[in-house]
A and B are shown apart, each in its own frame.
Chain A
Amino acid sequence: MTTAEATTTAQNLHQLAWVFDLNKCIGCQTCSVACKVLWTRDDGEKHQWWCSVNTMPGLGTPKAWEGMGGGVDMATGKPRPGHQPTREEFGGGFDYNYYEVFYGGTAGKAHLEPQAPRENRWAMNWDEDQGAGEWPNSYYFYLPRMCNHCSNPVCMQACPTGALSKRGDGLVLRDEEVCMGDRFCMEACPYKKISFNYDRHVGQQCIGCFPRIEAGVAPACVRQCPGRAVFIGYLDDKSSKVNQLINEWKVALPLHAEAGTGPNVYYVPPLSPYRLNPDMSIDYETPRIPAEYLESLFGREVHGALATLKGEMDRVREGGKSELLSTLIAYHWQELLGPFTVDPATLTPNGNGNSQ
């Protein structure tokens, strides 16, 4: 299948989309852990984080992933070469000295430490809260990432065995029985959100919690978010919050859209305080997070999105109402879940459950 054919096919699909509000993400990793305990506890999955939250600016997971290539050359439509992230670049999956600390009679002397060489240690969110800038103008924000279930999935096109496919709801899934572990998908993915299971010799990535989706339950990363920062819904459903945030208000933007794969995870970009001048007066012209940095992540549309958010905030401060801010505040929790409102605690073995 050529890139153009894949794009045409994808455009005809029903498409699930996620929106992460970066102004509400507190970097608590509840989404990451909710995913981890559901899906990556088997052999060869210890180091895998299908959902991960990293401090930005930062090197991320896998380390320095933004410089690893992949995706599509927008000018030629041809796939761009990419680097396959290595086990070391993902890092993590450490063993710890639990026995020594808990049972070794070393109270006050030993502390938990990864059992790996100190040099070149890395793991998901290893550079937590380092960010960038100098006091008093240092800054950072959190960026949750997962498979983008792209409309133009280059992973699928790069796979010689046909292990990857795009479902009618837009999820990109892998048949592990068909996967040979060739890892061309990992090279081709510009987001580097495919992991490799070295025990089972297969690639693995976010499955969009499809068994939950099929039972009407929102994915774990969405439902478990304590900050009410994640929305899910169908992009082509005009009434969905994701469609409104992305297409009507235009405040939710894809990450690195220039990679050409049509990602379906969107982000409400982070507002930031203004910079302080050397005399500690406020520079009302300059946000602390450099505009060019946000543009490098979310494209030029980020300026319009931030202006819309500021405008709506100003209106509310002046006593007005804002449907956009009400949506983002998520007074009505169920609105985050789109059509997937079934409470997983009420599911029965035959898949029935009640909305809550």
Chain B
Amino acid sequence: MKVAQLATEPAELTNPGSPAWAEVPAIEVSLKPVALAAQPVEYIRETWAGRPYGQTSRATVSAATARDRLYVRVEWEDDEEPNREFQDAAAVVFDGTGGDVATLGSAAHPVALWYWEHGRQAPLHLISRGPGVVSKDSTGAPTAAAVLADKRWAVVFSGPAGGVGQRRIGVALWNGSNDERGGLAAVTPEWLPLESERGV
């Protein structure tokens, strides 16, 4: 996907509702549930067998760089009433070692996540070695800002740009209303290679 190179002030881009994002090309992506068979523990595989999850099937994704930072905006429809126990969440998934985005990485090929969850004080930088098999990494902490309007979430993540042209990303979404957490997510089944574009 194209990554716009902007001279915009970062404060503008971190706002998901900023008009600056209207100028950035966006793509529609399809998402699928992370496979039940890939879930890491028997308890989850047994108790979620036959129970749908990861049903958020579409999202709109756009990306831009400004001042050595990468900004990724993810927008999706969420028309369910909030759940008081589990919250909606989203992540941008980064490939680093040839990992599989569809399983959120593996022990041999971990992936990195910029993870945002509604209600959490701060987004997290996670290393994922499979669905829900994550560890917190205090380095490279991302920022995130989110808006829920007209039953649509829009979240803007940002972090160090780090050679955008060589990176590829995925998107994962958790529907809190359906008790989704850990590896119970919808995810883009294929990587989206980032392609740097000069100007808009």
Contact = CB atoms under 8 A, between A and B. Distances in A.
Contact of B181 (A86, A158, A177, A183): A183
Given A78-B46, A84-B85, A86-B84, A160 B40 contact: yes
Contact of B46 (A81, A181, A182): A81
B52 to A, nearest CB: 15
A2 interface: yes
B43 A157 contact: yes
B133 A161 contact: yes
B84 A161 contact: no
A158 B182 CA distance: 11
Given A84-B85, A180-B134, A160 B182 contact: yes
Given A87-B84, A160-B183, A182-B181, A177 B136 contact: yes
Contacts of A187: 43, 47
B135 A161 contact: yes
B120 interface: yes
A321 interface: no
B85 A87 contact: yes
A201 B179 CA distance: 15
B132 interface: yes
Contacts of B189: none
Interface string B178-193: 0101110000000000
A79 interface: yes
A53 interface: no
A199 to B, nearest CB: 9
Nearest to B42: A79
A78 B44 CA distance: 11
How many B residues touch the partner, as a band?
A: 20 to 34
Given A81-B47, A86-B85, A157 B182 contact: no
Q: Which of B41, B117, B130, B131 has most chain A Cβ within 10 Å? A: B41
B182 A79 contact: no
A165 to B, nearest CB: 14
Contacts of B133: 160-162
Nearest to A2: B42
Contacts of B85: 84, 86-87, 183
B44 A158 contact: yes
A79 B135 contact: no
A184 B40 CA distance: 12
Contact of A78 (B39, B42, B130): B42
A174 B117 CA distance: 22
Interface in A171-215: 177-178, 180-184, 187-188, 201
Given A87-B85, A178-B135, A201-B120, A157 B183 contact: no
Given A160-B183, A201-B120, A184 B134 contact: no
Interface in B76-111: 84-86
A3 interface: yes
A160 B42 CA distance: 10
B43 A180 contact: no
A161 B132 contact: yes
A279 B151 CA distance: 68
A86 B85 CA distance: 7
Contacts of B41: 157-160, 184
A82 B179 CA distance: 13
Contacts of A160: 39-41, 44, 130-133, 182-183
Given A160-B44, A160-B131, A184 B182 contact: yes
Q: Which 3 A-B pairs have the closest CB atoms?
A: A160-B132, A158-B43, A81-B47
Given A157-B41, A161-B182, A183-B86, 11 more contacts: A79-B46, A84-B179, A86-B85, A158-B43, A161-B133, A180-B132, A180-B181, A183-B85, A184-B41, A184-B44, A184-B182
20 contacts: A78-B42, A79-B42, A79-B43, A79-B46, A79-B47, A86-B85, A87-B84, A87-B85, A158-B41, A158-B43, A159-B41, A160-B130, A160-B182, A161-B134, A161-B135, A161-B182, A180-B132, A181-B181, A182-B132, A182-B181
